[in-house]
Copies of this chain bind each other. A is one copy, B any other.
Amino acid sequence: MSEVHAVRRGLLRDRCAAAGSAAALVSRPANVRYLAGGAPPGAVLLLGPGEDVLLCPRAPAGEGAHGRPDEALRIDLLPVPDEDPVVAAAGLAAASGAESLAVEEHDLTVARHRAMGKSAPRLKLADLGFTVEQQRIVKDEEEIGCLRIAAEITDQALGELLESILVGRTERHLALELERRLVDHGADGPAFVTSVATGPNSGQGRHRPSDRRVEEGDFLSVRLGASYHGYRCEIGRTFVIGTAPAEWQIELYDLVFAAQRAGRETLAPGTAYRDVDRAARHPLESAGYGEVLQPVTGHGVGLENEEDPQLAPTAMGKLDACVPVTVGPGVHLPGRGGVRIDDTLVVRPEADGGPELLTMTTKELLAL
């Protein structure tokens, strides 16, 4: 277990050394967690030049152990009660003889960066860039195992909701109920804010649940995901309420389903990110919905809900094996509603059976 994090840190240290920095400071919480096995609030990770150390603000006496790094890690944990941990880290790096420290300029604020410079004026602050984020894209089997469990939990929560009576209940209540069920089934918590959208709201990925009640004839679209050991999956489904979907509902559903399948089918090592997006986007554009599509068709998942890669028209790069991504196109027609279908899958070579679908809930158009 703890070996994994030491190996990740070793890899990062090699990359930093190659770029001319013997020391690096990681401050983005998901990156700290990836490299240290845990991220107490406010903790930052100093790699080299000496022993790796996790610097954290003073934990109030007796506070809970949530987010604490695995004790088996043997990574030193240094509380710095009266100082910003990044400033303490700069001092420590300078005192250890480092000439240059690579920092995450996309995470550090200008004020903190300046305070580091003041406290260690002879230390050159370089930019680590998105090195750790890049390192996180391809997952190991343990990480994929966590995602698989997160997806199972998500499927369970959603399945239970579908068995209950929906008409008359508000979006807000259904969203809370889904989140409760995620936790019931062992999630750390929801991976992101659960979206439940009914009637004219349906088909929007990020609709905030309102007090609108489910009515007969509505489309009902949900987007949710569990976080399990920090790993976050995502599922999106659209249902119809009542016995007989209208013609336009069936047509729109079939179209979005075909688009989503087309996107899924492109998932393979070597496929360009933009080609996944194009496969899912093209059928919807051809049907005249180009104007209402979202800018991104899918994205990586892991310790953050939306991480690299982005599956979008201008994205650069190609898929690797063992990259988990979402594929979730949707169409929302203002005033009428719409459809969104979203899965989490892991890219696998064809020899291994092709893309591994993690979110198993049926994509048939269910009439509830």
Q: Which of A45-53, A100-108, A218-226, A354-362 contacts B (4 or more CB under 8 A)?
A: A100-108
Which of A111, A333, A338 neighbours the largest number of chain B CB atoms within 10 Å of its CB? A111
* A60 with B206: CB separation less than 8 A: yes
* A294 with B61: CB separation less than 8 A: yes
Whole-angstrom distance between the Cβ of A43 and the nearest chain B Cβ = 15
Report the separation of the CA atoms of residues A64 and B179 in the bound assembly, to the nearest whole angstrom.
Answer: 20
Whole-angstrom distance between the Cβ of A186 and the nearest chain B Cβ = 9
Answer yes or no: A334 CB below 8 A from chain B CBs.
yes
* B332 with A62: CB separation less than 8 A: yes
* A293 with B61: CB separation less than 8 A: yes
CB neighbours (8 Å) of A208 from chain B are: 64, 66
CB neighbours (8 Å) of A294 from chain B are: 60-61
Number of copies: 2
CB neighbours (8 Å) of A293 from chain B are: 61
Q: Please encode chain A, from 100 to 132, with 1 for each CB lying within 8 Å of some chain B CB and 0 for all others.
A: 000101111111111000000000000100000
Which of these, B64, B203, B210, contacts A201 with CB under 8 Å? B64
Whole-angstrom distance between the Cβ of A247 and the nearest chain B Cβ = 22
* B109 with A60: CB separation less than 8 A: no
Which of these, B58, B64, B176, B292, contacts A206 with CB under 8 Å? B64
* B60 with A295: CB separation less than 8 A: yes
Which of these, B60, B63, B179, B205, contacts A60 with CB under 8 Å? B205
CB neighbours (8 Å) of A229 from chain B are: none
Which of A109, A292, A293 neighbours the largest number of chain B CB atoms within 10 Å of its CB? A109
CB neighbours (8 Å) of A206 from chain B are: 60, 63-64
CB neighbours (8 Å) of A103 from chain B are: 110
Answer yes or no: A352 CB below 8 A from chain B CBs.
no
CB neighbours (8 Å) of A64 from chain B are: 197, 201, 204, 206-208, 210
- Nearest B residue to A200 via CB reads B62
Answer yes or no: A74 CB below 8 A from chain B CBs.
no
Report the separation of the CA atoms of residues A60 and B63 in the bound assembly, to the nearest whole angstrom.
Answer: 41
Report the separation of the CA atoms of residues A314 and B43 in the bound assembly, to the nearest whole angstrom.
Answer: 22
Q: Please encode chain A, from 157 to 175, with 1 for each CB lying within 8 Å of some chain B CB and 0 for all others.
A: 0000000000000001000
Which of these, B60, B110, B204, B295, contacts A62 with CB under 8 Å? B204
A interface list, Cβ under 8 A from B: 58, 60-64, 66, 81, 103, 105-114, 127, 172, 176, 179-180, 183, 197, 201, 203-208, 210, 291-295, 332-334, 338
9 sample A-B contacts, Cβ–Cβ < 8 Å, listed by A number = A60-B204, A60-B205, A61-B294, A61-B332, A62-B338, A64-B197, A106-B110, A108-B109, A180-B180
